[in-house]
Amino acid sequence: MRFGHFDDGQREYVITQPNTPLPWINYLGCESYFGLISNTAGGYSFYRDARLRRLTRYRYNNAPFDFGGRYLYLRDNDTGKFWSPSWQPTRTKLDKYECRHGMGYTTIGSTCNQIEAQTTYFVPLGETLEIWKFQVTNRRKKPARLSLFSSIEFCLWDAQDDATNFQRNFSTGQVEIVDGVIYHKTEYRERRNHFAYFACSEKLAGYDTQRDTFLGAYRSWDNPAAVEQGKSFNSVAHGWAPHGSHHVKVNLKPGETKEIIFVLGYHENPVDKKFDPPDSQTINKKTVKPVIAKYLDAKNVAAAFQTLRENWDGLLGVYQVESPDVHANRMVNIWNAYQCMATFNMSRSASFYESGIGRGLGFRDSNQDLLGFVQMVPARARERILDIAATQLKSGGAFHQYQPLTKRGNNDIGSGFNDDPHWLILGVAAYLKETGDWGILDEPVQFENEPGSEQPLYEHLRRSFNYTLERIGPHGLPLIGRADWNDCLNLNCFSDTPGQSFQTTTNKDGTTAESVFIAGLFVMAGKELAAIAQRYQVGSARCADRTPQRSVPTSNTEAERCLAETAKMEKVIYQHGWDGDWFIRAYDDFSKPIGSKVCKEGKIFIESQGMCVMAGIGLKDGKAKRALDSVNKHLATKHGIVLQQPAFTKYYIEMGEISSYPPGYKENAGIFCHNNPWIIISETMVGNGNRAFDYYTRINPSAREKIGDLHRCEPYVFAQMIAGKDAPTHGEAKNSWLTGTAAWTYFTVTQWILGIRTDYDGLRVDPVIPAKWKGFTVTRRFRGNTYVIEVKNPKGKQRGVKKLLVNGKEIAGNVLPVRPPGSKPVRVEAVLEG
């Protein structure tokens, strides 16, 4: 069953009924002001940090779910009937409803009582505000006398405190209402120099800023007293719950349309210019007023919207494909790239599943997110890399998370996740391959955000690599620490106390439990570091000459050292990490294998198969193929590949959180989509294009749209998890949007299946596709040129570029060398001959 459809031409998903199985959301803003918005206008907004600078409130895990949002009410002043044009919160039956989620905007339209309404929500580029452009049309044969009410609930900034510290918060709220603009200024009197505002383009009939006056006692947003009575109370919040509501009277002739604009924004004043007059407690509005005035003007709103759309033309234009598969096309061309922007911005902080008060930015997560984002805005990727690296510890280890507002490591979760450092190498590698900006390696970057500790970024990578070498366990494999990629494989935790964090509780000394996954990751990252070392010359940032020739290898000793260490690790993996038909997953604190046929449960895990093969292990002697066939036999289901089998049916204290989940969910044998692409890449590496694409399609949300009642999450973005075969709801997705799946699937399909792959010295053309594909075309912008690459597959092969023509001339090999920037598209033809 479907709840809508794709409109690829408009780059929108069109939801045609409001009661989707779960809120189907979108993101507004992609720079510093962000919002979540559901298909019924639920959601909230924040500046930079969902926890520390929250503008509006949201009620998590509410019943009905998705409560708190950007609500409007229409009231027919002749009959007293009122409704929400976005369905929530009144949930009045609508005669027509349509929500269009697009790139950075959402439009919700409906018709009720012959009144047509449509609201477009978006954040103009470069601004810290959101616009609600509301249009209402009278479809009746007679005049309509209407009232329009807006409604938002202000959050008192720190969302965690806001939701818990009532003894203080019920007494701090403050607002100002000037010229119809509602200013929310809680704590502005003391240490904050920022405030929020909510403005409307029309003359007001009234307003409310005290939530409980607007709603009335013991009432909710489905029947606010002000709306029911058709009259605001002009309440002025002092303490309790500051709220923003405007009341506008709208009289429409038959057929007449009116546009009304609301602006909700965030503004900062310099600390010494907070008040006007200076000795007062009144907000200085000198710099905010022009901004408000600008966006209450319909012309400027239209122009800003157009600019936003054009900006997305550019962002998505970096990689466009026309393949025989509609689902792959729309994910690559539109939605998967778009989701990568969201994961880059949000990491795992704010979604319908992430409360925005839990995690900040993850060290490993954000590095992986770069894989799908770096091509869109390389400059922001660069900045992110430097921010992340600055939270690295001197030991080469990493703070597991950091807060985006302060950019400092988070002490609550701390460090000791022994895979973390390697992702920095892979993130930087992806950046270098995309941009050729070798100068980034010379950037001085602090350790632990400590002034004076600066070292070139390159040194950070070396310490990442060495970190593992200094933490080797009894079998010669890397020690796992608190966890590796799998946050729930907590082999040093041994917790029997409810409420303890599995990730931060450590009851063992950490000198025994080892990870084969980290071993594979170490080999992969080590090979990248060797490739970087070969090409890197110290001082390149100061070197004006950034042409490709300057990446000539100079010193190989560092590269040789990396390769010697990775070769050594490969041997250890063969010796202690191979189980006969697949790679072992880990060794526990008793040095017993996990993910081996000797285990009762959890005999085979996905992660080590994917990571070891991606690192190139077993490609030559058939072990890679064997491991992948084992995955196919034991882990693949029609809804995707599960994380391990057999699922854990009870709690194993020596394994930690993984066995805390009921079978089939999350890390306990759920389809953890994030790691499916590792198997897909591995399949492309052994040349199995049919299987690679089949696996890709199983988790592709667009291909799952038709089973929307089972899948339940949005059909336009990947989910972190689909319930595995041991769960009662096999095939049901959860945790959509903010997942490493976004970057990994994008990276996998664009670079490994379609095979247009960035490399240090050029763009590689190495597709591994289904045999039945006759060909496809990719347009790729890369280092100043646009390549139009046509791949032909006349003989029904799955891989093997035998002929590569560049502007009609055949070149040797399958790498398009970097060329001087040009404005004419470079025409490339590639023929697969197996």
Among 122, 266, 485, 517, binds ligand GLC (CB under 6 A): 485
Helix, coil or strand: residue 496: coil
Ramachandran angles phi, psi of 82, nearest 5°: -135, 160
Alpha carbons 464 and 831: distance in angstroms, whole number: 40
Residue 66 or residue 607: which is nearer to ligand GLC going by CB? 607
Residue 364 or residue 576: which is nearer to ligand GLC going by CB? 364
336 binds ligand GLC (CB under 6 A): no
Q: In what order do the strands lie in the sheet with 815-817?
A: 756-759, 762-765, 815-817
Alpha carbons 699 and 641: distance in angstroms, whole number: 9
Shortest CB 589 distance to ligand GLC, Å: 19
The number of residues that bind ligand GLC (CB under 6 A) is 16
Nearest alpha-carbon partner for 466 in 410, 371, 395: 395
462 binds ligand GLC (CB under 6 A): no
Q: Which stretch binds ligand GLC (CB under 6 A): 56-64, 360-368, 465-473, 752-760?
A: 360-368
Q: Which stretch binds ligand GLC (CB under 6 A): 133-141, 300-308, 481-489, 569-577?
A: 481-489
367 binds ligand GLC (CB under 6 A): no
Among 285, 364, 462, 797, binds ligand GLC (CB under 6 A): 364
Write out the binding residues for ligand GLC, residues 628-657 only, by CB under 6 A: 657
Residue 640 or residue 740: which is nearer to ligand GLC going by CB? 740
Residue 570 or residue 667: which is nearer to ligand GLC going by CB? 667
Residue spans of beta strands (DSSP E) within 400-552? 401-403, 408-409, 444-445, 455-456, 514-515
Q: How many C-beta atoms lie closer than 10 Å to residue 395's C-beta?
A: 15
Alpha carbons 420 and 739: distance in angstroms, whole number: 16
- Bridge-based pairing of strands 640-641 and 762-765 is unpaired
Alpha carbons 507 and 334: distance in angstroms, whole number: 47
Query: What tokens were used for 677?
Result: 């692409």
Shortest CB 643 distance to ligand GLC, Å: 9
487 binds ligand GLC (CB under 6 A): yes
283 DSSP assignment: B
Residue 162 or residue 365: which is nearer to ligand GLC going by CB? 365
Alpha carbons 569 and 603: distance in angstroms, whole number: 23
Q: In what order do the strands lie in the sheet with 408-409?
A: 361-362, 401-403, 408-409
354 binds ligand GLC (CB under 6 A): no
Alpha carbons 341 and 339: distance in angstroms, whole number: 5
Helices 557-576/457-469 angle, 10° precision: 30
486 binds ligand GLC (CB under 6 A): yes
Residue 118 or residue 659: which is nearer to ligand GLC going by CB? 659
Among 66, 365, 420, 487, the active-site one is: 487
Nearest alpha-carbon partner for 680 in 702, 705, 700, 710: 700
365 binds ligand GLC (CB under 6 A): yes
668 binds ligand GLC (CB under 6 A): no
Alpha carbons 242 and 237: distance in angstroms, whole number: 5
> Under 8 Å CB-to-CB from 479, ≥6 apart: which residues?
418, 471, 472, 473, 510, 511, 512, 513, 514, 515
The residue type at 431? Y
Among 68, 362, 618, 640, binds ligand GLC (CB under 6 A): 362
Alpha carbons 267 and 599: distance in angstroms, whole number: 58
363 sits in which H/E element:
helix 363-373
488 binds ligand GLC (CB under 6 A): yes
Residue 134 or residue 363: which is nearer to ligand GLC going by CB? 363
Q: Which stretch binds ligand GLC (CB under 6 A): 146-154, 186-194, 361-369, 438-446?
A: 361-369
Shortest CB 60 distance to ligand GLC, Å: 17
Q: Answer yes or no: 487 catalytic.
A: yes
> Under 8 Å CB-to-CB from 31, ≥6 apart: which residues?
123, 125, 126
Shortest CB 595 distance to ligand GLC, Å: 15
Shortest CB 675 distance to ligand GLC, Å: 8
Residue with the CB atom nearest ligand GLC in the bound state: 487
Among 201, 410, 503, 645, binds ligand GLC (CB under 6 A): 503
Shortest CB 345 distance to ligand GLC, Å: 15
Partners of 251 in the beta sheet? 145
348 binds ligand GLC (CB under 6 A): yes
Angle at 699 between CA 693 and CA 703, to 5 degrees: 80
739 binds ligand GLC (CB under 6 A): yes
Among 150, 720, 748, 785, binds ligand GLC (CB under 6 A): 720
Among 330, 475, 634, 674, binds ligand GLC (CB under 6 A): 674
Nearest alpha-carbon partner for 514 in 582, 439, 558, 575: 575
Among 640, 715, 740, 755, binds ligand GLC (CB under 6 A): 740
- Which residues are identified as catalytic? 487
Residues that bind ligand GLC (CB under 6 A): 348, 362, 364-365, 485-488, 503, 657, 666-667, 674, 720, 739-740
